Amino acid sequence: MPTALVTGASSGIGAAFARRLSADGYRLVVVARDAERLTALAADLGDTTEVLPADLSTDAGLTAVADRLGDVDLLVNNAGVSLNRSFLRSTADDEARLLRLNVHAVMRLTHAALPGMTSRGSGAVINVSSASSFAPVMPGSTYPASKAWVTHFSESIGRAVGRHGVRVMALCPGYTRTEFHSRAGIDMSRTPSWMWLRAEDVVAHGLRDLARGRLVSVPDWKYKVAVFGMRHAPRGVFARVAKDTRSRDGR
Ligand SMILES: NC(=O)c1ccc[n+]([C@@H]2O[C@H](COP(=O)([O-])OP(=O)(O)OC[C@H]3O[C@@H](n4cnc5c(N)ncnc54)[C@H](OP(=O)(O)O)[C@@H]3O)[C@@H](O)[C@H]2O)c1
């Protein structure tokens, strides 16, 4: 039975990954800070699920999870956060916490997982990035920059480890209905319903693209078109349409 470790499994896209991978026959290790929610998820998934509570913005949390990666066949680096304040209003501590989770944890856990995978000649890492990683959308927000790192890192490392039989892929969803925006205090009430994706669909698309050997996966045609625009539109044109989705109050 292959083993998958999913970070940020207590809600949203991570919980959807855990449920789908469990149904696909993986033994699960589920990671997040909220031990109670992880235990409830594990009870749903069955006896083989292992609960590993950890705060991935801390060294102790990262070490505990890195130490568990030895026999893991699929690592899903999914835990991530945004902030509801622009860089000028934010504190350096909050920005550092965001980078520790969105960037440093992804690097550290990928680095810990790859030696076992390359020596076995099999395995995969999915790093959950964002459609916003392709351009500096949301003026004043540092979140897209953190995700730009995740996308470039995954593509770069994915190219290097392919010859060892190992895959690394960035999964870049657009707006997905999870707790992500409410946790950050971002008002999304004016976002039209057609822009929202379902976490289960994001996961299914990502796993399909991983099986196809893609290095970067963008679920849903709407966001494929948007990403094409972000990659190819002149920056000046793009800047005029880029919007900050955060609420006025939060700035
Ligand atoms: N939702 C979207 O529109 C969207 C779009 C593009 C990309 N994404 C990306 O998708 C990923 C998953 O987010 P989501 O949308 O599923 O949001 P979510 O529902 O808020 O889930 C975030 C998960 O991360 C965990 N987490 C947060 N801080 C953590 C920490 N310090 N240590 C360990 N775990 C932590 C949370 O659990 P605990 O609170 O229990 O720790 C939770 O399980 C993120 O990387 C996000 O950037 C989301």
Structural domains in the chain plus CATH codes: 3-250 (3.40.50.720)
Provide the 10 A C-beta neighbour count for residue 220.
20
Ligand 1 site, residue 55, Cβ cutoff 6 A: yes
Q: Could you tell me if the CB of 12 is within 6 A of ligand 1? A: yes
84 lines ligand 1 (CB under 6 A): no
Predicted confidence at residue 46, as pLDDT, reads 84
Query: How many C-alpha atoms does 81 have within 13 Å on its Cβ side?
Result: 21
The share of the chain scoring above pLDDT 70, in percent, equals 94
Helices (H), the chain: 12-23, 35-45, 59-66, 92-99, 105-120, 143-161, 180-184, 199-211, 221-232, 235-241
pLDDT the model gives residue 244:
54
User: Confidence band (pLDDT; 50, 70, 90) for 84?
Assistant: confident
The residues carrying an active-site annotation are 143
Asked if the model's pLDDT at residue 250 lies above 50, the reply is: no
Average pLDDT of the residues of the chain = 94
Name the residue of 5, 6, 10, 245 to mutate for ligand 1: max ligand atoms within 8 A of Cβ: 10
For residue 7, give the H/E element and its range. Answer: strand 3-7
Of 87-101, 212-226, 227-241, the poorest mean pLDDT is in: 227-241
pLDDT of residue 249: 39
- Please give the residue that has the higher pLDDT: either 55 or 231: 55
Q: Whose CA is nearest to atom 7 of ligand 1?
A: 130
